[in-house]
A and B are shown apart, each in its own frame.
Chain A
């Protein structure tokens, strides 16, 4: 199969992730959107690595996975804290700071 197809797929996934972040209201879903963006990037990296025939891209993908894991820890902690204080997981309810 043509390798560029994987690139198209990764771009589509990335755009889907970004759209999710911008449009969805549930914090957890927004957060999933960010994860989708990171994983779409991984797909692009691995495809590029295959195209160029070197492993830098694959190594980078591993780093991204580690970072994504750390981000989940911090992100979910913050989201859960907010949920416990407000009983709501909607992005719209987090609006005390609006001047």
Chain B
């Protein structure tokens, strides 16, 4: 009989992922055993500690992986290359900043999350929960689990693990999307759309994985590729054409996660509806992790495909990249909601990332790594700024975020520092020189030109120019346009405003209003669909500290990467020395 042989596991290789996931499990226990009063602090310390620990683990592994070219556990179930480690470092860093934004309660003393997400919006139960001062500290373990999935996603050669990592990454995010304190209906709707489309995409990807397994009798990507490259291998005689369908289906799953057209439709809705700190976390980290996985899968596959198939793959990438850039910039230019605008901008950035990797070579990988860092810092910072610009009703009660673009007019006079930081992030996204975004785009387009894809680079540059238009429009609005007249005292209460929006009144009204009669939302748990553009005053709330730190770090990062990028460019070049796993 076969005897069980315990596999030898190199725990050091697992450490970046393991630290985060273990802390997530401990976080769940904290929820059960630590008294409610102390939970938030304990969770915060645990979460920040785990993410910092993960960064340290990556740093400790760096030299070893760089020397050996790769490190792996049990046949590449977890596989670290320098590029993977680079992506893990970026994800852990951005997640750390994301947690800071999530933790901030601002000067209003409330975080961005519902006291109990299970309560029906606008009910007495919700009120009671709010008045009892409940808070949902489960946010932090959920973020840790999602981050763990993101760290694992690009770090595996095994398609089973790839799928599991995708789900570990996605499921907590679906829940997190539904937990907003304000505009809860939108938040739940975002979670619902994200969930249905996300699980549809992962089901497609799973079928692709099944087809790879069917065609090659293995779930190891490298092994599958080496069998594909060798047409004499016995399993392949069965059905070689399965591979094309498989590659297509797996690509759909990955493209969905990075938000590339035509699989982008969820992005604006989810980014708009989710609590803004979660949007910041999601926009920055998921994109980094998913593009890392995409580089890993497509680069490995491309190495094994024969010339015509490889060319087909590149053509596919071309089409998707062009479509993504066009959709992102064209739709972004006509948005009136700042979160939606940033969402379309993130779609456009997915397109630029695809342009960078279209050559499927090391230059592309290097450009991708630098790009996700530059993009992540700018996006996270921008959404962090959005969390601080709020609406205020006639009684001076701070409500949800003022997301309508017209509400941002004159922000530069209200809060010059915040407006400066936001302008900086927008300029970086636009790719203006002396910011990180410029070098990132330069790297991406020159990688494409080097790979002979100069038409793509030209389209990319054109799309960037169009994008400059809508970024600069917002900056002009903030700096040069005077603030709109504050019309909050025209007697329209939030509840009335909702009714005016044509939203059914039943159960949709502001929760607090139900109990206190004429007095409008004391805590501003507005369940209304939209921002009260023009009907509420805009106010900039002060950060308690963490968000300010995150914004500062992002701003400094964006500037430093733009002015003295040498160290980081060296680092990405080292990391991109992409060596395939196996013989």
B residues touching A (Cβ–Cβ < 8 Å)? Answer: 117-118, 120-121, 160, 163-164, 167, 171, 174-175, 178, 184-186, 188-193, 195-196, 199-200, 203-204, 206-207, 209-211, 213-214, 217-219, 235, 238, 268-269, 272-273, 335-337, 340, 503, 507, 529
Q: Is the CB of A70 within 8 A of B203?
A: no
Q: State the 10 A-B residue pairs at the shortest beta-carbon distance, nearest first.
A: A37-B203, A48-B214, A52-B217, A97-B269, A96-B529, A44-B210, A67-B167, A84-B120, A41-B206, A41-B207
Contact A31 B196, beta carbon cutoff 8 Å: yes
Q: Do residues B335 and A99 form an inter-chain contact, with CB atoms below 8 A?
A: yes
| Contact call B203/A34, Cβ cutoff below 8 A | yes
- Given known pairs A67-B163, A81-B178, A99-B340, the reply for A75 and B210 (CB within 8 Å) is no
For window 37-54 of A, CB contacts with B under 8 Å fall at 37-38, 40-41, 44-45, 48, 51-52, 54
CB closest residue in chain A, given B194: A78
Q: A56-B218, A67-B163 are in contact. Are A94 and B210 (CB under 8 A)?
A: no
Is A1 positioned at the interface, with any CB of B under 8 Å from its CB? no
Whether B160 pairs with A48 at a CB distance below 8 angstroms is: no
Task: Tell me the bound Cα distance from A41 to B209 in angstroms.
Answer: 9
Across the interface, name the chain B residue whose C-beta is closest to A53: B217
CB neighbours of B171 from chain A (8 A): 70-71, 74
B196 touches A85 (CB 8 A): no
Q: Is the CB of A74 within 8 A of B174?
A: yes
Report the nearest A residue to B171, measured CB to CB: A74
- A84 nearest CB neighbor, chain B only: B120
Q: Is A12 in the interface zone, CB < 8 Å from B?
A: no
Nearest chain-B residue to A60 (Cβ)? B160
The number of chain A residues touching the other chain, given as a range, is 35 or more
Known contacts A57-B213, A85-B507; A63/B163 CB under 8 A? yes
- Give Cα A18 to B204, complex, Å: 9
A48 and B213 within 8 A (CB): yes
A20 to chain B minimum Cβ distance, whole angstroms, is 10
- Interface check A59, CB cutoff 8 A: yes
| A56 and B272 contacting across the interface, CB-CB below 8 Å | no
Q: List 8 A-B contacts (CB under 8 A).
A: A34-B199, A40-B207, A44-B210, A64-B163, A67-B167, A78-B195, A96-B503, A99-B340
Which chain A residues border B268 with CB–CB below 8 Å?
Answer: 97, 99
Which of A21, A38, A60, A70 is close to B196, meaning CB atoms less than 8 Å apart? A21
Known A34-B200, A85-B188, A99-B335: A74·B195 in contact at CB below 8 Å: yes
Distance to closest chain A CB from B164 (angstroms):
6
Q: How far apart are A40's CB and chain B's nearest CB, in angstroms?
A: 7
Whether A82 contacts B188 in the complex (CB less than 8 A), given A30-B196, A75-B195, comes out as yes
Are A97 and B186 also in contact (CB < 8 A) when A56-B218, A57-B213 are? yes
Complex: A72 Cα to B218 Cα, angstroms = 28
Interface residues of A in 69-92 (CB under 8 A from B): 70-71, 74-75, 77-79, 81-82, 84-87, 91
Interface residues of chain B: helix, strand, loop or mixed (majority): helix
Please state if B219 and A56 are interface contacts (CB–CB under 8 Å): yes
The one of B174, B193, B206 in contact with A97, judged by C-beta atoms closer than 8 angstroms, is B193
Would you call the interface of chain A mostly helix, strand, loop, or mixed?
helix
Given contacts A37-B206, A97-B189, 7 further A-B contacts (CB under 8 A): A31-B196, A37-B200, A74-B171, A78-B178, A82-B192, A85-B507, A97-B193
- Give the docked Cα–Cα distance between A45 and B213 (Å): 8
CB distance from B96 to the nearest CB of A (A): 25
Inter-subunit contact A70/B206 (CB<8 Å): no
Contact with B along A1-35 (1 / 0, CB 8 A): 00000010000001001100100000100110010
Chain A residues contacting B192 (CB-CB under 8 Å) are: 27, 78-79, 82, 94
Q: Closest Cβ of chain A: how far from B233's Cβ, in Å?
A: 12
Q: How far is the CB of A5 from chain B (nearest CB, A)?
A: 14
Q: Which residue of B lies closest to A96 (CB)?
A: B529
On whether A54 and B217 interact (CB within 8 A), knowing A41-B206, A78-B188, A84-B120, the answer reads yes
Shortest CB-to-CB span from A85 to chain B, Å, is 5
B164 touches A97 (CB 8 A): no
Question: Are B196 and A37 in touch, CB under 8 angstroms?
Answer: no
- A64 in contact with B206 (CB, 8 Å): yes
With both beta carbons as reference points, the residue of chain B lying nearest to A99 in the complex is identified as B340
B235→A52 contact, CB < 8 A? yes
* Chain B residues closer than 8 Å to A30, beta-carbon distance: 196
Inter-subunit contact B196/A34 (CB<8 Å): yes
Q: Is the CB of A85 within 8 A of B185?
A: yes
Contact of B175 (CB < 8 Å), options: A21, A38, A74: A74
Determine how close the nearest CB of chain A comes to the CB of B525; give it in whole angstroms. 13
A47 to B207 CA separation, bound complex (whole angstroms): 13
| Cross-chain contact A78 with B210 (CB below 8 angstroms) | no
Residue of A whose beta carbon sits closest to that of B205? A41
**B193 partner residues in chain A, CB cutoff 8 A:** 94, 97
B234 to chain A, nearest CB (A): 10
Give the Cβ gap from A67 to chain B, nearest Cβ, in Å: 5
- Chain A residues with Cβ below 8 Å from B175 are 74, 77-78
Contacts of A59 in B (CB 8 A): 160
Q: Smallest CB-CB separation from B197: which chain A residue?
A: A21
Return chain B residues, CB-CB under 8 Å to A7: 214
**In the complex, which residues of chain B have a beta carbon less than 8 angstroms from the beta carbon of A78?**
174-175, 178, 188, 191-192, 195
Given A44-B207, A48-B214, A84-B120, A96 and B186 contact (CB-CB distance below 8 Å): yes
Most chain A Cβ neighbours within 10 Å, of B203, B204, B503: B203
A82 to B214, CA, bound (A): 39
Bound complex: CA A91 to CA B189 (Å): 10
A96 touches B185 (CB 8 A): yes
A41-B174 in contact (CB<8A) = no
How far, in angstroms, from A77 to B503 measured CA to CA in the complex? 24
With the chains together, A81 CA to B184 CA distance in Å?
A: 11
Instruction: Give the nearest-CB partner of B507 in chain A.
Output: A85
Instruction: Decide: A56 and B213 in contact? CB cutoff 8 A.
Output: yes
Task: Say yes or no: A82-B335 contact (C-beta < 8 A), given A57-B213, A71-B199.
Answer: no
Beyond A81-B178, A82-B189, whether A44 also contacts B196 by CB under 8 A is no
